Structures are given as C-alpha cells and as structure tokens.
Amino acid sequence: MKKAERFLKEGRVEEAQFLLESHVRKNEMDSRAIFLLGEVYLTKGEYYKAIYTFRKIPQKDLYKDELINDLKYIFDKTKYSAQEIAYNSAELITIISPDYYEKEIYMFLGEKYVKKGKMIEAENVFKKIWEREKNYESLLNLLNLLEEENSYSEIIELKDSIPEEYLTDEVNAIIGGAFFEIGKIYYEREKADSALFYIEKFMQVKKPLIKLAEAYYIKAEIMLLKGDTLSAVQNFYNVIKLNPARETGLPQKARKRIKELKK
C-alpha cells in the first residue's frame, strides 16, 4: 500500500494500479486500497471501472467528500456523451449522501428513472426537487409523473402546497383529472356521497374539458340515487348540450335516460 501510494504521488499510475489490484484481490475489505484503485481508474479516464470500484468500498463515509467530488467530475464529463455512465455516477452520489442535492443531477436522474420504468425512484427524485426548488418546472414534472402512475390521491394532497401563480391550465387539468378519476372510482364502487364530493370538486375546476360530459352524466345518476329527479334531468341535459350533434356515446345515453324519466 505504501509503495502504491508513493507511485501515485510520482505519477507512476500503471505501477500503482498493478500493486493496488493485487492487494485488493487479497484484501476485499480494505476501503483505502479500493478507494485508491478507483482513483487510478478515474485518472486514466476509465469512468465505468471507477464507479464500479467506488461502489465496492465498504466504508464509503470515510471518503464521502472525495467520492462525491470524483463522481460529480465523472457526471460532468459524461452527461452528454455517455449517459449510462453519468446515470450510474449520479445514482451513486445519492446513495453515498442522501442529503446531497444538486438540481441538474436530480433532474437527470428523474428523467432516466422514468425512461427505465423506475417510477417509485422517479417520484422520490421529483418530490425532492419540488421540496427544494418549489418552481413550476419541478411541480409539472412531479404532477405528470403522479398522473402517469394514477396516483390521484397524491396529486390532491399536493394541491394545497401549490402557489396560486402555478395554477395554470396545464396544472389545473391534472388536478381536475385527479378529482374526476377518484369520483368515478367511488361511483363505480357505489359510494354515492364520496363520488359526488369529488365530481363536484372536478366541476369547480372544469378541466380537462374532455371529462366534463362524463362528469355531468355521473352526477345525474348520483342525483337519481338520492331521489332528486329534477337535478338528474338537468345534468343529463348538460351532457347533451356539451355535444348536441353527437348521436352516440354519452349524449345518446343521456337522451335515453331523460325519456325513461319522463314516462
């Protein structure tokens, strides 16, 4: 080890590498030797080998600052040219130091997790960005991910922490969609009061518009269950008004229900 460290100081990298590799094969728990071997690979530009070696260090906390600096260097060098290496370096940073935060690294990781189908990991990353940044970009990334996961309750929980200026049409469409989907689920489970609560929440937002006709139809059926025929008929008429020329689908069903109620 002393000889290897001396070789490194003298710039005799190949000789240091030979000694360190031999030593690590016999001493797999020697954190210092593994760290130095990783440094050798880094110096030679063998970034994947460096990351793989750093992962094997038993006592990573002893070299936490140096490792983060090394991995950040690898990330910066490879984020455009070798993204899988950059991904591995970014992920290892978060493992070594969960409290470490740099927006570029977290955004990169979040996007990679989505592409790899690691939705739980992506959600955790985007939540951390939102907690730290509280900007529109991080909010939209998180909302889009939650919507893709059908995590409607989490979208609604997040709603109260969204500043007024961020409630754009795009954001409201996601929030409104969450209210609608939860209302529809309760309706299908025949829980009329809960369904009505969320459907009316959706109707306050009225976005996305594509769901509005179905919301009126669901509300009409709920009002019938509650014995309010007049309100039900009015809501069936609202379904027809949204697309009066359409002869199939919801408008047709609404017309049929109105005829049945008038008998």
70-116 pLDDT, tens per residue? 999 999 999 999 999 999 999 999 999 999 999 999 999 999 999 99
With respect to residue 150, please indicate whether it lies within any of the assigned structural domains: no
Label residues 233-247 b or e (16+ Cβ within 10 Å = b): bebbbbbbebeeeee
Report the 10 Å Cβ neighbour count for 115: 11
**CATH code: domain of residue 74:** 1.25.40.10
Q: Total domain count for the chain?
A: 1
177-233 pLDDT, tens per residue? 999 999 999 999 999 999 999 999 999 999 999 999 999 999 999 999 999 999 999
With respect to residue 201, please indicate whether it lies within any of the assigned structural domains: no
With respect to residue 235, please indicate whether it lies within any of the assigned structural domains: no
Q: Are the C-beta atoms of 180 and 198 separated by less than 8 Å? A: yes
pLDDT for residue 9: 87
Q: Are the C-beta atoms of 174 and 143 separated by less than 8 Å? A: yes
With respect to residue 246, please indicate whether it lies within any of the assigned structural domains: no
With respect to residue 223, please indicate whether it lies within any of the assigned structural domains: no
pLDDT for residue 246: 59
Which range of residues forms the domain containing residue 10?
1-100
Is pTM beyond 0.85 here?
no
| CA 254 to each of CA 5, 20, 34, 191, 220: distance values in angstroms, whole numbers, following the listed order | 81, 78, 71, 21, 9
2-58 pLDDT, tens per residue? 899 899 889 899 999 999 999 999 999 999 999 999 999 999 999 999 999 999 999
With respect to residue 127, please indicate whether it lies within any of the assigned structural domains: no
With respect to residue 69, please indicate whether it lies within any of the assigned structural domains: yes
With respect to residue 31, please indicate whether it lies within any of the assigned structural domains: yes
